[in-house]
A and B are shown apart, each in its own frame.
Chain A
């Protein structure tokens, strides 16, 4: 038999060239691993509890919100009180994603129409959730919120189906109403930049809270300035020493806008909004610190 004909082989790559190619390959793998590894660090804040941010009205559930937000900030641009801020690197995957810090600047609905929802190009903020994105129990509002500012308009409601959080009297002992005290002066001091719409000042133009001082025999700022009808009220209760006192009670229509937290003159605020919390019924009247069960994420 004939021996198989040997095919002329391609000349092998020079050792130097091969080493260079190998180095380039390894460096490329290193670059890939490095960049992907860094990008996955974005998980840390998301998985940590620190990710519980108050999202703008109409926000999808947190995971869906983060996946659908395109990080363009159009919601920021339309907000008349500049309540919406964008996340930074410490928010991981939430970098560029909008949130509200209600103590600094709450959403007071002075746009009248949740325009952030209208501005959102991806449906991260939405009037109506698509059916496959489930609505968490207690997130759905029983009825469309009635804006006190629009109460006499033909259309007094706000096109908002779900709450973004729930207010809670977190520090009853700090609450001026619980202490039976009144309030005089600027709610958050003269230097506070937060803005709000006052119907008796201007229907359309929010002004700094500092320009709107109060003189109240009993502090009811959270109830007085709440933009949503029937979301909070003062109720009497018997305090530990037997005297009759008043305390704010959060009711079902609370959407979690955070105005109560912003205007609360106590430092830190006696009433706070639990971001992304859902409604689990009224918290019983009690002088002791009341705790609303938090929605497991």
Chain B
């Protein structure tokens, strides 16, 4: 299978695999790292000592996430009419924008597409094809921010041995995607939207809180005490939809094996650590590789990597960012 297919299957839930062929260049790099161990360890210690803990990308991302959601809120509250509607469907200075997964649910349930729905869906499709991966998840989705904080709390509790993380199979999300699509077709209702914390939170911010926030609270409690980032990792079909759409995007996080010490700090902070499987020693087949479509481009790994082995890149325009 091609690397793309492997990564795509990884997004659907397949376990990451060891590469069958490793390029000569990577072999040389790995060999050199092994041969010159002393220098390698020295470099590693040096990089560690000089690594400034950075929250550059996290802060930028939080700022964007808050700005987008606040723009929704203020467009209604202050009647500035820039971004009207909610995350499921909106109008940006008049242009229709429709969330791909919500549009899909409506199309499957209603079995009818009007022009505005099509236009809005296409606009958003283009945006995420360009931005790629699950950029929506970490840069826009309001639930992501709450879940990120819940995750931090969960990790603290795990550290204190007060709770343990219960992992589910990552393929569960694919099953959910299919089930919710099937439910929409069979029942004629947009069943997923009833539970989607993304829609619920977006509406609560814009139109005021309601009982539905109780459900979001329960989800967060579940993630804090039982399973790390459960909704985003194992359930939410929105992420899978965007992952599939953004799989061919030119914007991505890339991994450079030469700079990597394989210590795995990146995998510890990552919401979708299977995309960072290439950073495990012996898993990289090329000198420079981009992460899979499940990557949310959140930049936590970019921030945490002490050696700059992980970077944002636009394919064909490396070092733009």
Contact = CB atoms under 8 A, between A and B. Distances in A.
Interface of A: 24-25, 27-28, 31-32, 35-36, 38-40, 42-43, 46, 63-64, 66-74, 76-77, 86, 88-90, 92-93, 95-96, 119, 121-123, 130, 132-133
Given A39-B191, A71-B88, A88-B210, A95 B98 contact: no
Contacts of B211: 88-90
B169 A96 contact: no
Interface in B222-236: 230, 234-235
B89 interface: yes
Given A89-B214, A95-B193, 15 more contacts: A24-B168, A27-B168, A31-B234, A36-B179, A64-B110, A74-B89, A77-B76, A86-B207, A86-B210, A88-B211, A95-B194, A96-B193, A122-B89, A132-B112, A133-B112
Given A67-B189, A74-B89, A89-B214, A39 B183 contact: yes
Contacts of B114: 122-123
Interface stretch (B28-36, B48-56, B101-109, B295-303): B101-109
Closest 7 CB pairs of A and B: A72-B89, A67-B109, A123-B114, A88-B210, A68-B110, A42-B194, A72-B85
Q: Chain B interface mostly helix, strand, loop or mixed? A: helix
Interface in B184-233: 187-195, 199-200, 203, 206-207, 210-212, 214-215, 230
A86 B210 CA distance: 10
B158 interface: no
Nearest to A38: B195
Interface residues of B, number: 55
A32 B200 contact: no
B211 to A, nearest CB: 4
Contact of B168 (A31, A40, A63, A66): A31
Interface in B162-195: 166-169, 171-172, 175-176, 179-180, 183, 187-195
Contact of A123 (B117, B171, B179): B117
B169 A25 contact: yes
A62 B84 CA distance: 25
B144 interface: no
Interface-central residue, B112, B180, B194, by most chain A CB under 10 Å: B194
A42 to B, nearest CB: 4
Contacts, number: 146
Contact of A76 (B192, B195, B207): B207
Interface of B: 75-76, 84-86, 88-91, 96, 98-99, 102-103, 106, 109-110, 112, 114, 116-117, 120, 166-169, 171-172, 175-176, 179-180, 183, 187-195, 199-200, 203, 206-207, 210-212, 214-215, 230, 234-235
Nearest to A30: B168
A49 B215 CA distance: 24
25 contacts: A27-B166, A31-B234, A38-B195, A39-B194, A63-B188, A68-B106, A68-B112, A70-B89, A70-B98, A71-B89, A71-B203, A72-B86, A72-B88, A72-B90, A73-B85, A73-B203, A76-B76, A77-B84, A86-B210, A88-B210, A121-B116, A122-B89, A122-B114, A123-B116, A132-B112
Contacts of B206: 73
Contacts of B176: 32, 35-36
Nearest to A123: B114
B215 A67 contact: no
A28 B120 CA distance: 35
B104 to A, nearest CB: 11
Contacts of B172: 28, 31-32
Contacts of B169: 24-25, 28
Contact of A93 (B76, B98, B189, B200): B189
Nearest to A46: B189
A198 to B, nearest CB: 22
Contacts of A67: 106, 109-110, 188-190
Nearest to B213: A89
Contacts of B76: 76-77
B123 to A, nearest CB: 11
B36 to A, nearest CB: 36
Contacts of B215: 89
A269 B294 CA distance: 56
A74 B168 contact: no
B192 A39 contact: yes
A74 B91 contact: yes
Given A32-B172, A70-B103, A77-B76, A123 B191 contact: no
Given A77-B76, A121-B98, A88 B212 contact: yes
Contacts of A72: 85-86, 88-90
Interface-central residue, B75, B172, B183, by most chain A CB under 10 Å: B172
A24 B172 CA distance: 11
Contacts of B199: 71, 96
Contacts of A39: 180, 183, 191-192, 194-195
Nearest to B170: A28
B179 A32 contact: yes
B215 to A, nearest CB: 6
B188 to A, nearest CB: 5
